[in-house]
Structure 1
């Protein structure tokens, strides 16, 4: 084992987290937020509308809504959702499209677990050997760190909402995790089953390339892939330079394997280019103003919490082995994704999402080097923070149901006008069971029992899961009312003459998708040949004054203005077709 490692771990500290417990935890994190809710604005609703459009006969080679291409490229995500609707006709489309994305999120957890497991078995990642024995065995040590990495990934605050959407971002996240897994498998190339290892390496790398390239991030796929290949190429020299004893130095990665991985990456990119699946290239730009940098720093601070401070601690404590695979591979994934988020002019959070597997991997390697005082600080901070958050969620829910306390109830009524809370026994039981589980976990964590390496991340991961589960159970009707276009679409549908198509002008893909699905309306864009047979017209309010430039207003009479009750900015004017004559304007 490595005598220069900062990790000092006994066999007693690497006891296994039961597989059933870890699996139940992953399911408890993945399922809430996917089940029982409507599509939320804007990216989630847009992606769902594109999938519905494909099922209804849209162009599979150019996914979009009403013939307009998708603003966010991502063939892989749109195809998976559309195939799920077709394959699961017994489920509501909103539920069916989420099945493959539940799988992608769980796949991300699995790739992160196996990546850390194989990286932790690298000779340079092993803990110090004791003079009289008793140090952690390589296999148990690797499993303990892999368990911790999954907990660290779930604890990241930024994963909660974006990881539970049906958007290309989830496919890209899974692709980044799969590429990390494929690169980490080279640690086992010296095993007797090297052929099986080689196959798993190429398959993992292939899945990662496909999900990234066909998920709408071909440029990032090239950057990540090239960097990971460069790290693997120099793995042998890095090991020798860090002073690992002879006999434990990993063999250099075969050039044939590197060529195969590079070929898979290049073939995926060229195939996507040939099929026209690549997004138009735009030159990236760094944040220009101080406000832009502050906004990015604030996002970076909370989005990757609590993994980023632990990752920094890892880099400091393992600073004499920065050339090791178990540090370089996740560091490149996290660093490239962070840089990508800096250069993204918008959707900074979605660009930063891909860094989370890398941060979680680095955070796991902090645990063997952490002092007990730091571990206790993390536990107490997490306990107080998530307990207070859970209490606030419960108090506001109780105020919604009973009107007491009066101030929270008044705030809900002000922020969500028109919302009428109704008690749901199922949602209440889900929230109550989650809260009881949190109390039991806190009692276990503060009890007197043997120290486990992954214990410091139990409360952060469970606390994040608790709050997310409470939000998607107790607050689910409120969130649907505030974030879904469903109520608006159903209200507009009651004002439209039945059996006729509707002309739309100035609506985005999410709004059009909601009107088609929730309102069951047949939509036609203004200027289309089919608009002459339509009896109603819906225009976004800001485009209302210039509507006369795009259509003959003498054929339309103003009927009403409808807006989302929770958003005063989204207003739509409704017109009804009349006989030719003077139009009526609001």
Structure 2
């Protein structure tokens, strides 16, 4: 790198490194086990994993007996392996969700390595800590979603690009691996990001026009090639129609259709949501770029994350689908730019962010403890009544291990924020520890309450009990979603089918909570009706054909 990195006046000692590593570990591990798959992504992703384990077909992703070609299978492979290996000790869905922890940990590792390379030895931890402090990372990093594998691939690519001016071999290997892993996670989005970032860096900044950079890009292409070709080739050989559906209908064709129609209001979705998802890293990143705007031509440590962010923002905004989880890759360059700002922040700004975080998380922790105690003691407060109405039938129970973990975490947080030394890192460390504390309290004290309303287990059990044993099959209407199909398969071994010829005797209908019948009552008799406890929109009805 041509820019001389400033010396950190507060180096990370071994003791501090252990503390920060423990913080990252707790953040990653909390919430991965102990609850059923939740709608929507958690449920349907596990449905694919469960079908893979049941059928033994690891080449073609399936969901409840039907091909599910939305994404390539790398995440599903990993989740199926962790579920199978840990099945003697954990429920299948808990074992599968550990794959999310694995990829989240890899993401923190590589964004930390990239931060250390770009900004100095003591900035690696800061990059990882800033990333876990981003609000958008908290829930999504603990769900079963393929976006986490893409996130890991993007972190590897950024780490590889950070070395591309000096160490072509290392850069080529990690950038190529990242591109390939991203492709096997979400398809063509990863190679597109690689091509655009690799092209724009030398096009915009002459620091990147060097022999090592060109060698690293060429080597990256060779390393990524097996990932880009082997699975698509095997898929094409075994199921040409499914290959065409994946490659054309769900990828290239969708992009071409979008180009023809042009952007719509959803193209600005990420601009509107990023201030929330990337808080508090985004204002720090903006400050770093603004402060160094006149020296960007010399600051190649800022050029890489800035170009990567702009490329990701444009490409993802112009994609055929926009969703909060799809914004996760943009948090990586934002975290790197925020890391660069730590040496530029004035003490007053750092202290303001520090006190805002402390007050915010202290208040949230008090509310979580108070609300939990109100439910447990049934104090008849208005808030308690509202929470009981939201989860009808939920009976709170004092769980010793969960309460002990929550109490110990609260005490440790108080000690941590008291003991963290005065430095520019204090604000981001306190923010990350505060958001981790809130997550721990939610996943210990409040997990039974949350799982009671989000799980499909009780509903499927009720449906299974009402199903006649002699029925030949169960048809479904078009409204029955992928998450519901997955949970019917997992909890009740119920596989619903498309049935245009009306061959099946049973028909499962998903609709609104309305009183009018949804089937022809002269031909079908309603034998069951139900829903999840807290769902006021989804209502399920099971009909049986009346035999004449």
TM-score relative to the length of structure 1: 0.82
**1:138-153 alignment to 2 at 5 Å?**
142-153=120-131
Say yes or no: does 1:568 pair with 2:536: yes
* Residue of structure 2 aligned with 1:310, choices 264, 274, 284: 284
Shift in Å, 1:422: 1.9
What is residue 361 of structure 2 aligned with on the other side?
Answer: 386
* Residue of structure 2 aligned with 1:412, choices 370, 387, 406: 387
What is residue 401 of structure 1 aligned with on the other side?
Answer: 376
Give the gaps of 5 or more residues in structure 1: 121-141, 190-196, 241-250, 582-586
What is residue 199 of structure 2 aligned with on the other side?
Answer: 230
| Distance (Å, rounded) in 2 between the aligned partners of 1:21 and 1:499 | 60
**1:89-488 alignment to 2 at 5 Å?**
89-90=87-88, 91-120=90-119, 142-186=120-164, 188-189=166-167, 198=169, 200-218=170-188, 220-230=189-199, 233=202, 237-238=206-207, 252-265=211-224, 268-271=227-230, 273-274=232-233, 275=235, 276=243, 278=247, 279-281=250-252, 282-283=254-255, 284=258, 288-289=264-265, 296-323=270-297, 324-344=299-319, 346-404=321-379, 406-445=381-420, 449=421, 451-488=422-459
Instruction: Report if the CA contact (8 A) 2:476-2:496 is conserved.
Output: no
| Distance (Å, rounded) in 1 between the aligned partners of 2:264 and 2:489 | 40
Instruction: Report if the CA contact (8 A) 1:504-1:525 is conserved.
Output: yes
Deviations 1:96-152, CA, capped at 9 Å, x for gaps: 2122221111000000011111122xxxxxxxxxxxxxxxxxxxxx23211111110
Instruction: Report if the CA contact (8 A) 2:172-2:218 is conserved.
Output: no
What is residue 559 of structure 1 aligned with on the other side?
Answer: 527
Structure holding more helix per residue: 2
Deviations 1:243-273, CA, capped at 9 Å, x for gaps: xxxxxxxx65253332121334455434455
Give the secondary structure class of the aligned counterpart of 1:472: helix
Give the secondary structure class of the aligned counterpart of 2:444: coil
* Residue of structure 2 aligned with 1:44, choices 32, 38, 42: 42
Shift in Å, 1:575: 2.6
Query: Which has the higher Rg, Structure 1 or Structure 2?
Result: 1
Distance 1:176 1:436, change over 3 A: same
| Distance (Å, rounded) in 1 between the aligned partners of 2:303 and 2:268 | 28
Shift in Å, 1:83: 2.6
What is residue 238 of structure 2 aligned with on the other side?
Answer: none
What is residue 138 of structure 1 aligned with on the other side?
Answer: none
CA RMSD of aligned residues (A): 3.0
| Distance (Å, rounded) in 2 between the aligned partners of 1:371 and 1:305 | 19
Instruction: Report if the CA contact (8 A) 1:235-1:252 is conserved.
Output: no
What is residue 509 of structure 2 aligned with on the other side?
Answer: 539
Q: Which has the higher mean CA deviation after the structures are superposed, 367-376 or 280-289? A: 280-289
Shift in Å, 1:380: 0.7
TM-score relative to the length of structure 2: 0.87
| Distance (Å, rounded) in 2 between the aligned partners of 1:504 and 1:434 | 48
Distance 1:44 1:383, change over 3 A: same
Say yes or no: does 1:522 pair with 2:505: no
| Distance (Å, rounded) in 2 between the aligned partners of 1:366 and 1:487 | 50
Give the gaps of 5 or more residues in structure 2: 236-242
Deviations 1:344-378, CA, capped at 9 Å, x for gaps: 46442112111111111111000011111111111
Deviations 1:371-396, CA, capped at 9 Å, x for gaps: 11111111011111111111221121
